[in-house]
Structure 1
Amino acid sequence: MHVCTVTPISKTVGAARISGAQAIPYPTGNPNITVEKEELVKRETVIKALNLLIE
C-alpha cells in the first residue's frame, strides 16, 4: 500500500495499491484547517488506504 501525492510515479515503479494523498508538503493533513477537521482528513486518508488493502 502506497499513500502518495504523485500517483504517476507510484504507477511507474509498479506499486500494487496506490492511494492518493492531499498535497506534497502535507500528504495526510492540512495546516490551514482546524485541528478537528484535520484529524478527520487524516482518518479518512488512512481508512481509504486500509480499504484498498482488503479489496
Structure 2
Amino acid sequence: MERAGLPVVHMCTITPVSLTVGANRIIPTVAIPHPLGNPNLTKEDEYTLRRKLVEKALKALETEVDGQKIFE
C-alpha cells in the first residue's frame, strides 16, 4: 500500500515481527491478548489508553518516513 502512495500504520505488540515483514510505521501496543486495550483498567482509563494509541497512529500517518520507524 505504501508503494501505491497510501501511508499505513502497523499496530502490534511484537515489533520485531513488524520489522521483519517490512512495515514502515510501527506503533507498539499493550499486550498480546489485548493489543489495543487493558481489561484491568476502568472504562474511562481504557478509553484514554485507546485514544492515545489512535492519536499516535494518526500522527505516524502524517509523518514522512524513509525506511522503518517505531513510534514509541
Q: TM-score range by the shorter chain?
A: over 0.9
% identical equivalent positions: 53
> TM-score, structure 1 length as denominator?
0.96
Which structure has the highest helix share of the two? Answer: 1
1:7 Cα deviation from its structure 2 partner = 0.3
Q: Counterpart in 2 of 1:41? A: 49
| Structure 1: tracts of 5 or more residues without a match | none
Larger Rg: 2
Runs (4 or more) in structure 1 with deviation over 6 Å come to: none
User: TM-score, length-normalised on structure 2?
Assistant: 0.74
Q: SS where residue 53 of structure 2 aligns?
A: helix
Root mean square deviation, CA, Å: 0.5
Aligned residue pairs: how many?
55
In the alignment, the residues of structure 2 paired with residue 48 and residue 27 of structure 1 have an alpha-carbon distance, to the nearest angstrom, of 14
User: How far off its partner does 1:9 sit?
Assistant: 0.4
Indicate which of 24, 29, 50 corresponds to 1:21: 29
